[in-house]
């Protein structure tokens, strides 16, 4: 029974992707326009892009910026979010600033950031950092607030100081919520990576996409969309696997269901 559940979990997304490609193929054949190539033509272009060393380096540059921006956001946002969740003073100081930044589309900040940092890696990485930080901070705050006070009192009674209670009680208890924010941030990292590269067109997947659009290479445009989508699916699946390994203790209902099957 457990193996059948595993097969279904892999088969369902595959069937959904195949269904989407079939609908795309049918729509492209029906519309019969140069600006909307068939799914088959776009899929044939994917190996050509990945087999071109220059294009592959562009895509790897994008992934590098995304990893750096995401990592910086996680390492800074989690401690800040936990501190805001446990301290009213820290929350009162940072909350107005975050509420002011939150509704602003991060891509809209790109022209201003370009004036400060130029069109290189720094500006794109900063935009990715900003896009990832807010959901990670929000979920870290919510996770820290949900920690029972009795646990903290017990830690204090055992002689743990404030930092030790934060690291040994608050962080583990808030980890499921934190990882939910990180998973959301991972998707936003991919989105802001592409949009920043489409605005500051120097290198990267977004640059390939926009240049192909300018030159009416629509097969390449849709092939890049497939590559970016596939990258998002792989990263999300890998992160979800890591999240489950780290916090499977927080999902007892799944263990019960698996055991019963």
Segment 178-237, tens digit of pLDDT: 999 999 999 999 998 888 888 777 778 888 888 888 888 889 999 999 999 999 989 998
Q: What is the pLDDT of residue 257?
A: 35
What is the Cα gyration radius of the chain? 22
For residue 199, what are its two tokens?
């605005």
Q: Is residue 21 part of a domain?
A: no
Q: Tokens 């991919």 map to which residue? A: 190
Q: Is residue 240 part of a domain?
A: yes
Q: Is residue 6 part of a domain?
A: no
SS3 content of the chain, % helix, strand, coil (to 5): 85, 0, 10
User: pTM for this structure?
Assistant: 0.85
For residue 115, what are its two tokens?
């004036």
Which letter does DSSP use for residue 202 in this model? T
Taking the CA atoms of residue 68, residue 196, residue 102 and residue 66 in that order, the dihedral angle to the nearest 10 degrees is -20
Q: Residue 162 maps to which CATH number?
A: 1.10.3720.10
Polymer length of the chain: 261
Domain that holds residue 41: 36-260
What are the beta bridge partners of residue 203? 201
Q: Which of 19, 45, 67, 65 is nearest to 209 (CA)?
A: 45
C-alpha pair distances (Å), 64 with each of 86, 190, 240, 249, 258: 34, 11, 20, 32, 38
Q: Is residue 165 part of a domain?
A: yes
- Alpha carbon 16 to its chain centroid, in Å, reads 21
Q: Do 191 and 131 form a contact (C-beta atoms < 8 A)?
A: yes
Distance CA 106, CA 70 (A): 14
Q: Which of 190, 147, 191 is nearest to 167 (CA)?
A: 147
Q: Is residue 17 part of a domain?
A: no
Q: What is the pLDDT of residue 256?
A: 36
Q: Is residue 13 part of a domain?
A: no
Among 60-74, 223-237, 244-258, whose mean pLDDT is lowest?
Answer: 244-258
Q: How many CA atoms lie within 13 A of 112 on its CB side?
A: 8
Q: Which of 96, 66, 69, 30 is nearest to 194 (CA)?
A: 66
Please compute the mean of the pLDDT values over residues 63-91 and round it to a whole number: 92
How do residues 86-133 score in pLDDT, each as one tens digit?
888 999 999 888 888 877 777 777 778 887 887 778 888 898 999 899
Q: Is residue 223 part of a domain?
A: yes
Please tell me the total count of domains within the chain.
Answer: 1
């Amino acid at each position: 029974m457990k193996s059948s559940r595993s097969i279904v979990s892999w088969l369902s997304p595959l069937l959904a992707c195949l269904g989407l490609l079939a609908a795309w193929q049918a729509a492209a054949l029906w519309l019969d326009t140069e600006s909307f190539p068939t799914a088959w033509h776009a899929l044939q272009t994917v190996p050509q892009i990945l087999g071109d060393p220059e294009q592959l380096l562009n895509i790897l540059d994008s992934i590098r910026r995304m990893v750096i921006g995401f990592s910086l956001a996680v390492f800074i946002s989690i401690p800040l979010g936990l501190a805001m969740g446990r301290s009213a003073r820290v929350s009162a100081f940072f909350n107005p600033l975050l509420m002011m930044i939150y509704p602003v589309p991060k891509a809209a900040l790109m022209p201003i950031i370009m004036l400060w940092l130029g069109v290189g890696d720094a500006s794109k990485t900063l935009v990715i950092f900003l896009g990832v930080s807010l959901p990670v901070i929000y979920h870290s705050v919510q996770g820290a607030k949900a920690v029972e006070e009795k646990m903290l009192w017990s830690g204090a009674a055992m002689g743990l100081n404030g930092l030790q209670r934060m690291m040994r009680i608050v962080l583990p208890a808030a980890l499921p919520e934190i990882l939910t924010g990180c998973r959301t941030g991972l998707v936003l990292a991919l989105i802001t990576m592409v949009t920043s590269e489409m605005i500051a067109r120097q290198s990267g997947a977004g640059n390939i996409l926009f240049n192909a659009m300018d030159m009416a290479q629509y097969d390449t445009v849709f092939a890049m969309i497939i590559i970016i989508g596939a990258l998002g699916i792989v990263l999300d699946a890998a992160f979800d696997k890591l999240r489950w390994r780290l916090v499977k203790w927080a999902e007892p209902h799944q263990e019960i269901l698996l055991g019963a099957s």
